[in-house]
Amino acid sequence: MKTYSIGEVAKELNLTVYTIRYYDKEGLIPFVERSESGIRLFKESDIAALNVIECLKASGMPIKEIKNFIDWCSEGDATLQQRYDMFMERKATVEAQMAELRKTMEVIEHKCMYYQTALEAGTEDIHKQKNIAASIPASR
Amino acid sequence: MKTYSIGEVAKELNLTVYTIRYYDKEGLIPFVERSESGIRLFKESDIAALNVIECLKASGMPIKEIKNFIDWCSEGDATLQQRYDMFMERKATVEAQMAELRKTMEVIEHKCMYYQTALEAGTEDIHKQKNIAASIPASR
DNA sequence: ATAATCCTTAGAGTTAACTCTAGGTCAAGC
DNA sequence: GCTTGACCTAGAGTTAACTCTAAGGATTAT
């Protein structure tokens, strides 16, 4: 079976070798086998597992919680429920993150328009005028 | 004009007073005025500014870059172009983050289904069977 | 066979963003 | 007038996730 070196895996996953060794130290990839001389030999399935780890990381999960999941995987079918629950919870947090990003985007888009208008006018005062203008009728 | 204490602002924005003081230390809120005895007096507009800061933070912008923006704001109309460019760039990065979150979500949803099937079968082997089954016709 | 370029470990250093502590000052209520 | 709780600063401590260094072993290319 073909295997890959840590450098090859790092390049493929856009990680540094330091990061992969750090993940190993933290117990995220206990399944990676070694050559007689101690060199890590990554199988295709190990790379797939690293991709899942990257996905969990992208979902905002801290390394220690990812380790829990990896431990559950090693424990077999007895932990299927935990793993299912974990992914359902991940789904909920990612949905929440998407909702927050949409809110953030709204504010940013509003600011883009604000500065576009200000740029066209050559001054930010154009926005302050709005309120002054609105107050004129009352002052008449 | 009504003002608010740091504690009131912290509660309203769901921050700690430590965090707000830290932002002040980092130069994010130089416009907040003080009482004679040195106590911070937050105006409504200061709270609005903190909301923009929170928005930039939510977009993944580091504090030091947010400070650049705050400095530009103090410099007036001469920096309108920079500020516009900055928000346009923010818009692009938030769009990229949304795209990545969508990818992450796909993987997670796939995993949810994977574990649902495994739970129903009582074993993860159900997924390994797929490949074995697929290889049977060839082995006949 | 020897240089270059991988790989290994243990452990120290870095960075961002808080988070807290110590030692004070200040303002409101009893 | 005194206690209580919120405010202040300077600076130390924490945490997560890397990131790198030192010292050495293995593999490949000429």
- In a mutagenesis test of the B interface, which of A73, A74, A111, A113 is the best target, namely the one with the most B β-carbons within 10 Å? A111
Residues B91-104 have a mean pLDDT of: 98
Distance CA B88, CA A97 (A): 21
Q: Is residue A48 part of a domain?
A: yes
Structure confidence at residue B131 (pLDDT): 59
Q: Is residue A16 part of a domain?
A: yes
Q: Is residue A44 part of a domain?
A: yes
Contacts for B40-44: CB closer than 8 Å, 24+ residues apart: B40/B5, B40/B6, B41/B3, B41/B4, B41/B5, B42/B3, B42/B4, B42/B5, B42/B6, B42/B8, B42/B9, B43/B1, B43/B3, B43/B4, B44/B2
Percent of chain A with pLDDT over 90: 90
- Checking if the pLDDT of B104 tops 60, the result is yes
- Checking if the pLDDT of A32 tops 60, the result is yes
pLDDT tier at B139, thresholds 50, 70, 90: very low
Structure confidence at residue B1 (pLDDT): 83
Q: Is residue A63 part of a domain?
A: no
- Checking if the pLDDT of A133 tops 80, the result is no
Structure confidence at residue A122 (pLDDT): 95
CATH code, domain carrying A50: 1.10.1660.10
Question: For chain A, what is the domain count?
Answer: 2
Distance CA A115, CA A29 (A): 48
- Three-state DSSP state, A33: strand
Query: Residues B127, A45: contact at Cβ < 8 Å?
Result: no
Residues A108-112 have a mean pLDDT of: 98
Structure confidence at residue A128 (pLDDT): 84
Q: Is residue A71 part of a domain?
A: no
More confident residue, A80 or B128: A80
Domain holding A9, by residue range, is 1-58
pLDDT tier at B87, thresholds 50, 70, 90: very high
Q: Is residue A109 part of a domain?
A: yes
Percent of chain B with pLDDT over 90: 89
Q: Is residue A89 part of a domain?
A: yes
- Looking at the fold, whether A96 and A43 belong to one and the same domain comes out as no
Q: Is residue A72 part of a domain?
A: no
Query: Residues A40, A4: contact at Cβ < 8 Å?
Result: no
Distance CA A55, CA B106 (A): 10
From the list B55, B97, B101, the residue facing A107 with the nearest CB is B55
Does the nearest atom of strand D lie within 7 Å of A22's Cβ?
yes
